[in-house]
Amino acid sequence: MDVHRVSQRSQMDYNFDNMEPKHGKLLPCQEDRFDSGLDSLKEDELVNEFEDMTVNTNEELTHEYEPWKTVVTEDGDTLLHLAIIHEATEHALQMIKLSHNHPFLNVQNHQRQTALHLAVITEQPQLVEKLLKAGCDPRLSDDSGNTVLHIACKRGSLACFGVITQNCQRHLTSIVSFPNYNGQNCLHLASINGYISLVESLVQLGADINAQEQCSGRTSLHLAVDLQNPTLVRRLLELGADVNCFNYGGFTAYHLTYGRQNEEIRCQLYERTAQDLRALPESESDESDMEDVDVSDDELYDDIKFGK
């Protein structure tokens, strides 16, 4: 669940002028949401609610205490979260402008999503750039351990990926290598989802092409074989992936071709794999250990899973 549904008008009756909920507090959000917020823009009442909102832009007040920065829903969303979810861009830009380097920009909701996470999820690169330049921390992770770069790589968002990497040079090395709670870094996520252009970009930015995900020790090459993606296998080899790297079970990428049908992948790996590493380890040669892995929700292993 990336973005959750905001309550209807009766549950969110406030404006940016008096900055107080009509009934003294925000009422609970009743429904979870799985869309990006686009559908909710069709809900006339909610659209009108944003239309009526205004932020006081008096420069004399911008450094004083602003109550609208403390308003949150029971899901932990600030008004900035809500504006981004519902793509109320002008309101979001106003709040960002008035919150330069303010902790308000890095507030995390109950899913530990910042405004920056939501801007990437809803594919709004303009807001991603504004948030980063205003002081949003790209190192913060959500409740799955994903930073905003993880999310861009998982979703294949080239625009957001470009904005993040161009505006995070100071922290880029650590962000690129940082694992989420499934033990996967950005290169693993881009590989799992088959985004070859992102794989190329990450390697060019210094990502370790042979980095092992932390739960089963698979590299991106192992993952490409699991996915039976010959194009990705070929590109990883061209980029310098080590065919002789073992996962935690003692298997090379070539070992994972056993029991699988794609001969193109098998041929690509056979010649490059050291001759003494082509045969399956004797203790692990049982066919039951080489069954295809069911790829589900970006998890390609049955080992210990973190964050569950």
- Given this model, what pLDDT does residue 50 score? 52
pLDDT at 180 over 80: yes
Q: Which two tokens stand for residue 7?
A: 């309550």
User: Contact at 8 Å (CB) between 243 and 221?
Assistant: yes
Co-location of 136 and 154 in the same domain: yes
Co-location of 111 and 184 in the same domain: no
- Given this model, what pLDDT does residue 52 score? 53
Residues contacting residue 19 through CB under 8 Å, at least 6 positions apart: 66, 67, 68, 71
- Given this model, what pLDDT does residue 38 score? 40
- Given this model, what pLDDT does residue 48 score? 53
- 299 bridge partner residues: 296
Co-location of 132 and 222 in the same domain: no
Structural domain for 254, as ranges: 179-303
Co-location of 210 and 299 in the same domain: yes
Residue 308 lies in a domain: no
Single residue among 174, 209, 241 that ends a domain in this structure? 174
pLDDT (tens digit, 9 = 90+) per residue, 73-120? 999 999 999 999 999 999 999 999 999 999 999 999 999 999 999 999
Helix (H) or strand (E) holding 68: none
Q: Which two tokens stand for residue 230?
A: 């010959």
Q: Tell me the pLDDT band of 304, cut-offs 50, 70 and 90.
A: very low
pLDDT (tens digit, 9 = 90+) per residue, 118-135? 999 999 999 999 999 999
Co-location of 195 and 285 in the same domain: yes
Co-location of 44 and 148 in the same domain: yes
- Given this model, what pLDDT does residue 64 score? 47
- Given this model, what pLDDT does residue 43 score? 44
CA distance 77 to 234: 44
Q: Which two tokens stand for residue 277?
A: 């590493």
Co-location of 3 and 143 in the same domain: yes
Residue 4 maps to which CATH number?
Answer: 1.25.40.20
- Given this model, what pLDDT does residue 55 score? 52
pLDDT (tens digit, 9 = 90+) per residue, 194-224? 999 999 999 999 999 999 999 999 999 999 9
Co-location of 57 and 163 in the same domain: yes
pLDDT at 58 over 80: no
For the stretch 283-290, contacts whose Cβ atoms lie closer than 8 Å and that sit 24 or more positions apart, written own/partner, are 284/249, 284/250, 284/251, 287/259, 290/255, 290/256, 290/258, 290/259
User: Contact at 8 Å (CB) between 26 and 71?
Assistant: yes
Co-location of 24 and 133 in the same domain: yes
Co-location of 187 and 168 in the same domain: no
Q: Tell me the pLDDT band of 66, cut-offs 50, 70 and 90.
A: confident
Residue 78 lies in a domain: yes
Domain count, the chain: 2
pLDDT (tens digit, 9 = 90+) per residue, 22-54? 333 333 333 333 344 444 433 444 445 555 555
Q: Following CA atoms 78, 33, 122, 12 in sequence, which dihedral angle do they give, to the nearest 10 degrees?
A: -30
Q: Which two tokens stand for residue 293?
A: 């892995």
CA distance 112 to 116: 11
pTM confidence score: 0.75
HEC profile for 100-153?
CCCHHHHCCCCCCCCHHHHHHHCCCHHHHHHHHHHCCCCCCCCCCCCCHHHHHH
Residue 1 lies in a domain: yes
pLDDT at 255 over 50: yes
Single residue among 129, 151, 174 that ends a domain in this structure? 174
Co-location of 153 and 22 in the same domain: yes
Single residue among 174, 193, 219 that ends a domain in this structure? 174
pLDDT at 166 over 60: yes
Co-location of 138 and 169 in the same domain: yes
User: Could you give the percent of the chain with pLDDT greater than 70?
Assistant: 70
pLDDT at 142 over 60: yes
Q: Tell me the pLDDT band of 175, cut-offs 50, 70 and 90.
A: very high
Q: Which two tokens stand for residue 77?
A: 């969303």
Residues in the chain: 308
Residue 275 lies in a domain: yes
